Structure 1
């Protein structure tokens, strides 16, 4: 890990690191906030997955998580959303595919399979890298949350790894990416035309296939321009109800899809996770 920056905040430290990634075959950058409690003991880990077009920096600059994380003694890890670099295949004319749009899956189709392995990066490579570092992190206590594409990623990864994550929440997640207008084309390009392969990256279909978590928290703005065509939280609510998964779905009146929305409820989500991390 190469340290890019370190800034004191709320008596903790906001770090940014880069490293060579085997999973993504490029250099990757991530942010991690270490609360002041990490100076004397290991602290639990809360993963935050960002949405389309974002890097690690969007939530670091606008998410307003440091004060509550410092109060509660929780580390916040903010990975990038996709592989980066000149050799990484991309469709620069599309903000819904390619760089900035990794969808937290492992691609199987060329030319994307070499680099777009964000599931393996988040679940295997980055945790191993952090475990080998000198950061005081307690990997027996982990939770995950995210926004939009990252909300989709957080829920699908939690459903497939319930023994790892103590809790999962999301801001405006893409509930059913296999049928949403802004995600279906990406799944086909990354995974091929066989839609059975898409099920592993669709929260509603994973739940339908028997994957479960203990409970789920979702916040969604009613003024979100993507609500009806891209996000459709009612599909997630229906899947959870049928599977017996307790879901708290907060429809926040007047809020949109931006970080004004996310930052308004960030403290509530971090507090909710901290209570379940112990």
Structure 2
């Protein structure tokens, strides 16, 4: 099991679901991935749910909080590790993004800020306290990738290069180009261009990918649990994937990797 004790700056370190119905979301994700869930009471924030493997002592996989109001859409937020929270927020604003939630201490768990990039895609920043972030990645039922869907690829390359120091590497992707963001020699995130096949009013966004043993079976199970499959199981070079929205409407993807050794994949030039 590739459990981790921490995450390097610039890497995705946590994913968090904002749900209008926490109990329904627990039923869906525990039914789909076999997760366990327990609640933490965070002073000033109420209950915060932690999804884990196994039981309350298992490694953390993801978090969940209830939506603050009905006007907010259900969504997954991808958090990126930083050592300098305020400095990173200042860079986000200087490069055309916005600060949505100022730097906030989460009762010793860590410090966070919520931002949007220069095209409007939301993401989070995390400085760990007692919660390092995901305690397990790159294995079945855990997060194994995060991906940005945007309309101005060059602007996104510029923005995230300034904010996180990411280097962009292009990959051929059928009739278009897929961008991989790298920290040093390591691939940490991806980016796809929202071309004319996307609805013109579809928002730019980050989406998490979760590893599954059988993409087809997981997509079928998700449908049984109330999800809507947006892209049916499809073969691509990295593996077989499917995109969906959960019963509340939050976007996520599942993938059965073609190569099980994610270290080898992440270190490709």
TM-score (norm 2): 0.33
Richer in strand (by share)? 2
| TM-score of the two chains, using structure 1 as the length reference | 0.32
Structure with a larger share of its residues in helix:
1
